[in-house]
Amino acid sequence: MTADTLQIEIQQTTKSRLQEVDFDNLVFGKNISDHMFVAEYRNGQWQDLRVVPYGDLSLSPATAALHYGQAIFEGMKAYRNDKGEVLTFRAIDNWARLNKSAERLCMPTIPEDIFMGGLTELLRLDAGWVPAQDGCSLYIRPYMFASDPYIGVKPSESYYFIIFTSPVGTYYAKPPRVKVETKYIRAAEGGVGGTKCAGNYAGSLYPAKLAQQEGYDQLIWTDAREHAIIEESGTMNIMFVLDGKLVTPKVSETTLDGITRKSIVAVAQHWGVPVEERVITVKEIIEALKNGSLEAAFGAGTAVVISPFATISYEGVDYTVPEVKPDSFVAKVKTYLTDLRTGKVEDPFGWTVKI
Ligand SMILES: *Cc1c(COP(=O)(O)O)cnc(C)c1O
């Protein structure tokens, strides 16, 4: 899996923008690092692997992805440990998930050595962009899109695979007020909800905007048939602590198989905390909120790690979610995952990899 046998051409920037970045006030998605990894798929093969200065692409207005949405992405993070070394977290799982999305969208899969080799070369070159500040990290965005200049509806024959990165700060936002969505849907059985395809996010903007106008920060998505089963929250997986157990919807074709979710489940099991991955109804959660058996409700995803909810709203009634106490499972697992990713504690799971 060495990048040497891969032949990645490296063209270093002559004008680093690193000095322009205010690492004490990082805004999510605003600063993009100096370089990007690019691979192009043509004639049935990934080729022209290169790490080049981050910059614009020149594309035909007929570029297939812009018309029919053959586009998928991933999101992950790299961290700096106390020794200054750069660590990735479960990158191999992001690679596997990208390929799962690719298959569903009729796109070519990416071989492991190209994904990991490209990522490694990129992180080596832009290692200086990985923040050292507490709670900060380097957000990594791998993505693929159809690039045929052709507007017939069919799978494209050419694609770009690109990775770029962006230093990001702590997510200080206050606990969100979330609304159970009972009209619009994110995903339906047989659809593409289980993939990280671009269109899923476009479709979620409008219902999210309506909820914001009503004073909520985010939605809880429910099943497409009856709006009775809880699926996800915004672009995060959803998890609850109920009667001392960690309870989360089981992964299905209408929920995304989140790596943060998976990690929290594994840590809970490692600690001997009972875990239930199952169908969770809205009714059950509202009952638990009413009778006090709901200890916590939170979203889980790479961007925020864990985002405890302040309020859950259902059919016009706001229910207050108990605050996270410092000695609770939620607080502990959040700290532990951060410590694991930054190499502060030993990693018994083999999730962190040194670049
Ligand atoms: C990316 C994503 C998640 C979270 O996945 P992580 O691997 O934990 O970042 C959850 N739900 C949706 C819809 C997503 O797109």
Q: Identify the band that residue 4 occupies on the pLDDT scale cut at 50, 70 and 90.
A: low
Question: What pLDDT is recorded for position 135?
Answer: 85
- Percent of the chain at pLDDT > 90 equals 92
Question: What pLDDT is recorded for position 1?
Answer: 43
Q: 114 C-alpha to center of ligand 1: Å?
A: 23
Q: What is the CATH number of domain 177-341?
A: 3.20.10.10
For residue 2, pLDDT over 70 is answered with no
Tell me the domain boundaries of the chain: 9-170, 177-341
Q: Identify the band that residue 173 occupies on the pLDDT scale cut at 50, 70 and 90.
A: confident
Q: 12 C-alpha to center of ligand 1: Å?
A: 32
Can you tell me which atom of ligand 1 is nearest the CA of 303?
9
Q: 36 C-alpha to center of ligand 1: Å?
A: 23
Q: Identify the band that residue 6 occupies on the pLDDT scale cut at 50, 70 and 90.
A: confident
For residue 3, pLDDT over 50 is answered with no
User: Distance between CA 146 and CA 301 in Å, rounded?
Assistant: 26
Can you tell me which atom of ligand 1 is nearest the CA of 200?
13
- Which of 237, 238, 252 is the best mutation target for the ligand 1 pocket, counting ligand atoms within 8 Å of the beta carbon and taking the most? 237
For residue 334, pLDDT over 60 is answered with yes
Mean pLDDT (whole number) for 333-343:
94
The chain-wide mean pLDDT, for the chain, equals 95
Q: 274 C-alpha to center of ligand 1: Å?
A: 23
Mean pLDDT (whole number) for 268-274:
97
Which stretch of 2-16, 71-85, 278-292, 324-338 has the lowest confidence by average pLDDT? 2-16
Give the model confidence (pLDDT) of 183-199 as tens digits: 999 999 999 999 999 99
Q: 192 C-alpha to center of ligand 1: Å?
A: 14
Question: What pLDDT is recorded for position 29?
Answer: 85
| This prediction's pTM | 0.95
Please provide the DSSP assignment of 114-168 as one string: HHHHHHHHHHHHTGGGS--STT-EEEEEEEEEE--B--SSS--S-EEEEEEEEEE
Q: Identify the band that residue 28 occupies on the pLDDT scale cut at 50, 70 and 90.
A: confident
Can you tell me which atom of ligand 1 is nearest the CA of 75?
9
Question: What pLDDT is recorded for position 172?
Answer: 62
The CATH topology of domain 9-170 is D-amino Acid Aminotransferase; Chain A, domain 1 (3.30.470)
Give the model confidence (pLDDT) of 103-158 as tens digits: 999 999 999 999 999 999 999 999 999 999 888 999 999 999 999 999 999 999 99
Q: Which residues have any ligand 1 atom within 6 Å of their CB?
A: 75, 196, 232, 235-237, 256, 258-261, 301-302
Can you tell me which atom of ligand 1 is nearest the CA of 300?
8
User: Distance between CA 145 and CA 198 in Å, rounded?
Assistant: 9
For residue 330, pLDDT over 70 is answered with yes
Q: 98 C-alpha to center of ligand 1: Å?
A: 12
Mean pLDDT (whole number) for 201-212:
96
| Residue located nearest, by CA, to atom 13 of ligand 1 | 235
Q: Identify the band that residue 294 occupies on the pLDDT scale cut at 50, 70 and 90.
A: very high
Can you tell me which atom of ligand 1 is nearest the CA of 259?
7
Quickly count: other Cβ atoms within 10 Å of residue 225's Cβ: 10
Alpha helices per DSSP H over the chain: 64-68, 91-104, 112-125, 198-213, 259-271, 282-291, 329-341
Amino acid at 287: E
Can you tell me which atom of ligand 1 is nearest the CA of 234?
13
Q: 99 C-alpha to center of ligand 1: Å?
A: 15
Point out which residues pair with 143 in neighbouring strands.
Answer: 73, 162
- Answer yes or no: are the C-beta atoms of 194 and 187 closer than 8 Å: yes
- Which of 89, 254, 256, 306 is the best mutation target for the ligand 1 pocket, counting ligand atoms within 8 Å of the beta carbon and taking the most? 256
- Quick one: tokens of 63? 């570029």
